[in-house]
């Protein structure tokens, strides 16, 4: 019998992109409430609680500024508020997103130096101290590090970057992009001596896209006073004069209804349990890929087990196979949305996001669809990926 594939999708969309991510029903309900005056007492009370709650997630007692913008807005705020034209930033290469942050810096007239790295192994932070010590005139004003490179599925040990700065006695600010790590695995702004961190709403916080923020240390705020970079909408000094200590324009009220619920969900589960769940699901995906990799099948893009990301796995398609073909089959046959390869990894890599509101059957459904798609596409692989994932999940303890 001919198999007719309908284009009308029934059942849930299995959304396995590494951002935006699934939005829990209770957050959808929260953001759908009627709007209110952002200066009203009831809103301000909730807003202040959101500010405190986000500080608990960032693990900081210092400052937070919010922006009505996607992560790029917070990236730009991080640069224009503490640097001046002609200043130098040292960016630790991780992949597509570290390059993007660097391109933005260059466009703003900042000099970019790159601490080069192999995208599959990750930067060798043991060599960073020497690079910083060689900068005897302290021309480097900031070191930028992407905590989780969403394009490659590699994480970066931010505490080791801080240790290198301290060992070199270098005064540069430490800036960290936590866009695809926050709420997925541990980030500790104050304990790790991060001066500016950048985060966004649409990944581990499980919110719609459109709000981003920066955590800012007292040291960074002092440096901000000396920055001559032109700025207006993103200017922290102007923001500090506003009641909300953020937002030059209208406050995105609905996103704060959502953030209040997101913080409630994260704290109800307990941050450590949230991280353990992400680790469990990440391990299951990695077990599946290792099983598929037999017979010259797809491989984990990350070749350094110490750097595995618990929020996203990038998977290298077998030689001569187009990863986008597999993604198309997953989408059209099974209503499963996967992330694609970014920049030079386009067509070579597909990505499974395992961040945010996700559980075991959801990840197994995605893995089963990928395993079927490997067969349908005729890509070389070994069977047993889903079995390996199930075995890993069944063996892991749940807190």
The reply on whether position 43 binds ligand PLP by CB under 6 A is no
| Residue from 70, 78, 129, 369 binding ligand PLP (CB under 6 A) | 70
The reply on whether position 17 binds ligand PLP by CB under 6 A is no
Of the pair 282, 385, the CB lying nearest ligand PLP is at 282
Question: Among 172-180, 225-233, 279-287, 391-399, which window interacts with ligand PLP (CB under 6 A)?
Answer: 172-180
Of the pair 140, 207, the CB lying nearest ligand PLP is at 207
Comparing every residue's Cβ against ligand PLP, the nearest one is 71
Of the pair 197, 316, the CB lying nearest ligand PLP is at 197
Of the pair 97, 308, the CB lying nearest ligand PLP is at 97
Give the whole-angstrom CA distance, residue 147 versus residue 153: 11
The reply on whether position 146 binds ligand PLP by CB under 6 A is yes
Query: Which of 10, 30, 14, 32 is CA-nearest to residue 22?
Result: 14
Of the pair 70, 392, the CB lying nearest ligand PLP is at 70
The tokens 């935006």 sit on which residue? 20
Q: How far is the CB of 57 from ligand PLP (least distance, A)?
A: 17
| Residue from 22, 27, 60, 71 binding ligand PLP (CB under 6 A) | 71
Question: Among 110-118, 176-184, 242-250, 348-356, which window interacts with ligand PLP (CB under 6 A)?
Answer: 176-184
Peptide bond connecting 345 to the previous residue in cis, omega within 30 degrees of 0: no
| Residue from 16, 123, 143, 179 binding ligand PLP (CB under 6 A) | 179
Binding mask 199-238 for ligand PLP (x = CB under 6 A): -x--------------------------------------
Query: Which of 202, 216, 214 is CA-nearest to residue 259?
Result: 202
The tokens 């704290």 sit on which residue? 267
Of the pair 72, 245, the CB lying nearest ligand PLP is at 72
Give the whole-angstrom CA distance, residue 389 versus residue 315: 15
Q: How far is the CB of 73 from ligand PLP (least distance, A)?
A: 7
| Residue from 60, 78, 150, 227 binding ligand PLP (CB under 6 A) | 150
The reply on whether position 392 binds ligand PLP by CB under 6 A is no
Of the pair 132, 205, the CB lying nearest ligand PLP is at 205
The reply on whether position 78 binds ligand PLP by CB under 6 A is no
Q: How far is the CB of 19 from ligand PLP (least distance, A)?
A: 5
Q: How far is the CB of 309 from ligand PLP (least distance, A)?
A: 10
Q: How far is the CB of 354 from ligand PLP (least distance, A)?
A: 14
Q: Which residues contact 40 (CB under 8 A, 6 or more apart)?
A: none
Of the pair 206, 291, the CB lying nearest ligand PLP is at 206
Of the pair 76, 195, the CB lying nearest ligand PLP is at 76
| Residue from 87, 93, 177, 195 binding ligand PLP (CB under 6 A) | 177
| Residue from 49, 55, 59, 72 binding ligand PLP (CB under 6 A) | 72
Query: Which of 287, 246, 254, 309 is CA-nearest to residue 384?
Result: 287
Positions in the binding site for ligand PLP (CB under 6 A) = 19, 70-72, 97, 146, 150, 177, 179-180, 200
């Amino acid at each position: 019998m001919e198999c007719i594939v309908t284009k009308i999708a029934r059942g849930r969309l299995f959304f396995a992109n590494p951002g935006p991510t699934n939005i829990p029903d209770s957050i959808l309900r929260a953001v759908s409430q009627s709007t209110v005056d952002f200066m009203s007492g009831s809103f301000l009370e909730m807003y202040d609680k959101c500010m405190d709650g986000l500080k608990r997630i960032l693990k900081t007692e210092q400052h937070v500024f919010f922006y009505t913008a996607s992560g790029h807005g917070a990236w730009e705020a991080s640069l224009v508020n503490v640097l001046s034209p002609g200043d130098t930033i040292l960016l630790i290469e991780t992949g597509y997103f570290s390059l993007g942050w660097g391109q933005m810096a260059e466009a703003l007239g900042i000099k970019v130096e790159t601490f080069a790295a192999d995208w599959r192994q990750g930067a060798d932070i043991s060599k960073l101290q020497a690079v910083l010590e060689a900068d005897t005139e302290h021309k480097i004003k900031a070191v930028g590090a992407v905590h989780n490179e969403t394009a490659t599925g590699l994480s970066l040990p931010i505490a080791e970057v801080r240790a290198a700065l301290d060992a070199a006695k270098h005064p540069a600010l430490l800036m960290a992009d936590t866009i695809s790590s926050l709420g997925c695995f541990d980030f500790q702004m104050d304990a790790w001596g991060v001066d500016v961190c950048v985060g966004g709403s649409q990944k581990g916080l499980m919110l719609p896209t459109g709000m981003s923020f920066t955590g800012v240390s007292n040291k960074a705020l002092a440096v901000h006073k000396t920055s001559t970079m032109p700025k207006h909408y993103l200017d922290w000094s102007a923001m500090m004069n506003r009641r909300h200590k953020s937002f030059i324009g209208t406050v995105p009220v609905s996103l704060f209804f959502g953030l209040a619920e997101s913080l409630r969900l994260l704290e109800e589960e307990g941050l450590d349990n949230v991280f353990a769940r992400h680790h469990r699901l990440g391990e299951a995906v990695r077990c599946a890929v290792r099983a598929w990799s037999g017979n010259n099948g797809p491989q984990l893009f990350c070749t350094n087990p110490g750097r595995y990301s618990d929020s996203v796995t990038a998977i290298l398609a077998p030689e001569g196979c187009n990863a986008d073909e597999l993604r198309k089959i997953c989408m059209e046959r099974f209503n499963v949305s996967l992330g694609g390869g970014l920049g030079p990894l386009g067509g070579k890599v597909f990505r499974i996001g395992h961040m945010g509101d996700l559980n075991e059957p959801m990840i197994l459904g995605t893995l089963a669809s990928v395993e079927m798609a490997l067969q349908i596409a005729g890509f070389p692989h070994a069977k047993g990926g889903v079995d390996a994932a199930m075995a890993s999940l069944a063996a892991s303890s749940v807190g």
